[in-house]
Structure 1
Amino acid sequence: MIDFEPWDRLLHQYVDRKGRVDYFAWKTEQPQVLDDWLQSKKHLHLNSQLTVMEELTLWINLYNAFTISTILKQYPLKSILPNFLGIPNWLAFLWFFQRPIYEIFGNRYSLAQIENQILRNKLKEPRIHFAIVCASIGCPLLRAGAYFPEQVMQQLDEDAYRFINNSQKVYYDFDSQKLYCNKIFKWYRQDFLQVAPSIPEYINSYLKTDLPLSAATQISYLDYDWSLNQRIS
């Protein structure tokens, strides 16, 4: 199992309580620390006897560390969705997730492989959608600390609670009786339906206020903000 204390220290230093990342300070003060740490791990042997909690911890941390490492190399940038002459470059955007450039355990992985093949298909944990980040404002907020096996289930519950009770991600309009949701609930609908009868009922299980939500509740999906989730120093 990888020692995630160095990653944990970096997150505590450069991520605030609102999940915003101070990329400017990070790149100015410690531009190579994260990348060097990841490079030092690429030839490690993957233990085949890891528990589910250890695997969740391992791959959530690696996904986020790989993402932030890539953003630091490209920083400064305004959005993770590139554009050319004002037109979104979806090909370059998809390549960000699909290219197998991350070396670990003697193999190369893409972010999409880690997310889909391991975290979703193998571990089948829908709460990872509130934990892994693409570095945009629309995605989950980055936790100001690493995940650890003895805490990961509680951490994922905290992530789900924080995401669902954030009015920029989820809110209910009493006048229209419509539930407005982040598009994560659309894109990964089937993951959430593995553990709940409907999306509104899944959301309701984490809300801190009692809302009249049921399988019949109408859903509208919010526009996704691909702007970089950053804190301005």
Structure 2
Amino acid sequence: MINFELWDTLLRQYVDRQGRVNYLAWKTEQPQVLADWLESQKNLPLKSNSNALEQLALWINLYNAFTISSILETYPLDSILPKIFGVPNWLAFLWFFQRRVYDIFGQRYSLAQIENQILRDELQEPRIHFAIVCASVGCPLLRSGAYFPEQVIQQLDEDAHRFINNPQKVRYDSHSQTLYCNKIFKWYRQDFLKVAPSIPEYIGSYLKIDVPLTATTPISYLDYDWSLNQRIS
């Protein structure tokens, strides 16, 4: 199985406590380290008897490492949503997630395949939506460290608390009694409803407010920010 100590070291070096990535420093100082490390791992055998915690840590780390490696290849860029003459190029955007270009365990995977077929369908842990990153401001903030099997449940719980208690992702307006939340809760609604009766009740189990959220709490989804999640230093 893969040793993620190098990935952990890189994250601690280039990701701050707000989850922002210093791509400029990373690409300037160690432009090929991550790509070379991923290349060196591609023919390792997939451990057939690994448990769910090992699988969770493994595939979350790989998803994020593949994503960040792809961003480093094309950096500098302002957004992960490319535009042609100011018009969003959704085909190129979708291709970024659908292309099977990531070699690991003797196979080629796409980001969508890792997310949907492995993390969602096989492992069925909705908190992965607060952990895997598409590198945009709207998606979960990158953790400044790797995931490890013995810690992954605690790490995912921390990620859920951080995401849901970030007013840029989720907030409750007491005047309008409306719950404003990130579109991740809309796109992956069925994943959250596997463990909670409603989206407001799922959010309410993490959100630090005095008002109880119920299935009848109105929801309004926030605009999604596709600009690159980066730190300029």
Q: Do the two structures share a fold, i.e. TM-score over 0.5? A: yes
Structure 1 residue 211: Cα displacement = 2.2
**Which segment drifts farther, 71-80 or 168-177?**
168-177
For 2:172, what is the secondary structure of its paired residue? strand
Q: TM-score, normalised by structure 2?
A: 0.99
Distance 1:159 1:210 in 2: 21
Structure 1 residue 61: Cα displacement = 0.1
The residue aligned with 2:46 is 46
Q: State the number of aligned residues.
A: 233
The residue aligned with 1:154 is 154
Residues 106-117 of structure 1 correspond to what in structure 2 (within 5 A)?
A: 106-117=106-117
Structure 1 residue 209: Cα displacement = 2.4
The residue aligned with 2:2 is 2
Q: Where has structure 1 moved over 6 Å in runs of 4 or more?
A: none
Distance 2:206 2:143 in 1: 18
Distance 1:145 1:41 in 2: 19
The residue aligned with 1:215 is 215
- Aligned CA RMSD, in angstroms, stands at 0.5
Does residue 163 of structure 1 match 2:163? Answer: yes
The residue aligned with 2:36 is 36
The residue aligned with 2:232 is 232
For 2:220, what is the secondary structure of its paired residue? strand
The residue aligned with 2:85 is 85
Does residue 27 of structure 1 match 2:27? Answer: yes
Distance 2:138 2:60 in 1: 18
For 1:215, what is the secondary structure of its paired residue? coil
Distance 2:211 2:95 in 1: 40
| Unaligned ranges ≥5, structure 1 | none
Structure 1 residue 193: Cα displacement = 0.2
Distance 2:120 2:48 in 1: 18
Distance 1:142 1:216 in 2: 32
| Unaligned ranges ≥5, structure 2 | none
**Which residue identity lines up with residue 130 of structure 1 in the other structure?**
F
What do residues 5-55 of structure 1 show as CA deviations (whole Å, max 9, x unaligned)? 000000000000000000000000000000000000000100110100000
Structure 1 residue 177: Cα displacement = 0.8
Distance 1:100 1:214 in 2: 41
**Which residue identity lines up with residue 185 of structure 2 in the other structure?**
F
The residue aligned with 1:189 is 189
The residue aligned with 2:69 is 69
Distance 1:53 1:141 in 2: 21
Distance 1:207 1:181 in 2: 11
The residue aligned with 1:55 is 55
Distance 2:211 2:227 in 1: 30
For 2:180, what is the secondary structure of its paired residue? strand
For 2:73, what is the secondary structure of its paired residue? helix
